[in-house]
Structure 1
């Protein structure tokens, strides 16, 4: 029996697609999905039309360099921080959101402060080479900042105090530092700094923090607009009795110390990683591990984070 399906037309009759003829707004949407590195390394070289779109400041209002890929860590032909400065330059002062992880320095933060004073949201993932002084200097130049999210990084009380004073519009703070201190060490300095200088907060996430009930009470007193509070893995906090009732009444969205962490972004440091591992950070000049005095990474954590950030 003869097949009822129609054979495909010869190759020469098949209409070719000219990607350069796509509407400009459609191409811009495609390039946004491509990502910073691929735009700068490849996409902008496809044709003149794509290069023109790649230079449009509107394309660079939100820069996410979290998922740079293993090639950026293993192939040193790529200078990730230099790419970041190129991306910032292309925003022409219109940058509103910036996220980077596993790289960065005080110099990069300084560059953001100088070139992106309109920034509203800053996310730092594993900011192992950023100092308190670097963040304080940047905060002084980012008065419009509304969201600061720091995943697995150190901040002193002084740094938090300065961020709060320099960024009066701050509405969302995520300061997740699981694994940096002994699990049951009591430490309220960070909570007190937040309570003292961030009265406008609506959202606060302190995953793995060592604050106590005293620090929590200070936050509830000092941040009257707080609607969302995430205290998962804050095991020094006891939400029984009066304090628990107050949290339930004052906070619309409350995550308690023992609540599930299944939906938590960047949950890298957990019980599956041995605390006895030698602590390392990624060494961008050699691709291997280098002993880091602050002890933020272990070699296996760094490898895991590279793949899943």
Structure 2
């Protein structure tokens, strides 16, 4: 009787092992192309615009078809590290193609590091539905360029114009033309010297952006006077980031008011480990002329060559038809 039990046990173990191996083989050979289209689209969206255009859409006909759907391009996130000279493609050309694919449905776009006045105009000419615009580190976007498109952004709710050449003049035009603006990031590259105080941006924000709920002013030159103006006018503020704003003194009544009025307050000396730029304090002495645009007097933020050129398309050509043809010295690949 026991011998039969041993045999049965061995057979059962062998069957289980065989079944497990079969299931493993099935998993290994499962075809990703069998996934429902909406599931595939959700996965592809996590790659970001650059990876979709440069590689994912070329995998197969099915993926290419999904990647051409305008709903895939309602959000265009072209996040990068700013190493533009090391990229084997031109981000501006790529971005224009992505905008074209959105067919006017674009609501959220990030062109950090490579945005220009011309690109910004192209984007705003292509959609009237933008709600989120990220232009951080875009030194080729000027006051004039931003003012020109401000009237085309009536639905804008979030704007990031950190680390660039934008001044209070463009801030004022944005405030006048974007009544739905709820979130603003206007951060600066900053120096510890020379010491300069200015409430120009603070007064502009207070005067033209009363509906703000989230405001980040990392490294700004504002004083207590400017901060009081913001608190008086922007009664809906929930979060306020004042890190590296060393002209402020949040002791006494101002500090108490900030604590009572703001749910999420970041003080001048709070840690900067979650800030997307390097916050190293440096002393650059005094300047003979007015100090550079976008630079304050308390800190300096730095970003933590061979040029590749992406071939421009002829009119009407498809981006993916050109993907893979790059120029590197004498070699095409």
Task: Please give the alpha-carbon distance, in whole angstroms, between the structure 1 residues aligned to 2:94 and 2:144.
Answer: 23
Name the residue aligned to 1:111.
122
**Relative to structure 1, is the Cα distance of residues 188 and 59 closer, same or farther in structure 2, using a 3 angstrom cutoff?**
same
> Which residue of the other structure, out of 262, 265, 278, is the alignment partner of 1:268?
278
CA spacing shift, 1:250–1:48, aligned 2, 3 Å: same
Give the match for residue 90 of structure 1: 101
Equivalent residue, structure 1, for 2:145: 134
Q: Partners in 1 of 2:254 and 2:51 — Cα distance?
A: 50
Closer, same or farther: CA 51–68 of 1 in aligned 2, 3 Å? farther
- Per-residue deviation at 1:13? 9.0
Contiguous gaps of at least 5 residues in structure 2: 1-13, 286-291, 296-300, 305-333
Aligned position for 1:152: 163
Per the alignment, residue 281 of structure 1 pairs with none
Cα distance in 2 for residues equivalent to 1:253 and 1:185: 27
2:74 is equivalent to residue 74 of structure 1: no
- In structure 2, how many angstroms separate the alpha carbons of the residues matched to 1:144 and 1:166? 9
Scaled by the length of structure 1, the TM-score of the pair is 0.81
Structure 1 stretches of at least 4 aligned residues deviating more than 6 Å after TM superposition:
12-15, 293-296
User: Counterpart of 2:111 in 1: which secondary structure?
Assistant: strand
Following superposition of structure 1 onto structure 2, how do residues 51-70 of structure 1 map, counting pairs within 5 Å?
51-67=64-80
Work out whether residues 112 and 138 of structure 1, in 8 Å CA contact, stay in contact via their aligned partners in 2.
no
Where 1:34 maps in the other structure, the secondary structure is coil
* Pairs within 5 Å for 1:1-309: 16-67=29-80, 73-75=85-87, 77-179=88-190, 182=193, 184-264=195-275, 266-271=276-281, 301-302=302-303, 304=304
Indicate conservation of the 8 Å contact 2:73/2:98, yes or no.
Answer: yes
Q: Residue 301 of structure 1: CA displacement?
A: 3.7
Give the structure, 1 or 2, with the largest relative contact order (CA under 8 Å, sep 6 or more). 2
1:66–1:160 CA distance, 2 compared to 1 (3 A):
same
Q: Calculate the aligned-residue CA RMSD, in Å.
A: 2.9
* Contiguous gaps of at least 5 residues in structure 1: 277-292, 305-309
Q: 164-173 vs 12-21, which deviates more?
A: 12-21
User: Does the 8 Å contact 2:193/2:283 carry over to 1?
Assistant: no
Residue 15 of structure 1 and its aligned partner are, at CA, apart by: 6.3
- Kept in 2, the 8 Å contact 1:146–1:171? The answer is yes
In the TM superposition, residue 181 of structure 1 has moved relative to its aligned partner by 7.8
Matched residue pairs, number? 278
Find the aligned partners of 1:27 and 1:139 in 2 and give their Cα distance.
Answer: 36
TM-score by length of 2: 0.75
Residue 126 to residue 217, structure 1, CA distance change in 2 (3 Å): same
TM-superposition CA deviations, 1:264-294 (whole Å, max 9, x none): 2x122423x7859xxxxxxxxxxxxxxxx86
2:221–2:245 contact (8 Å) kept in structure 1: yes
Secondary structure of the residue aligned to 2:280 is: coil
Task: State the distance in 2 between where 1:73 and 1:274 align.
Answer: 29
Larger Rg: 2
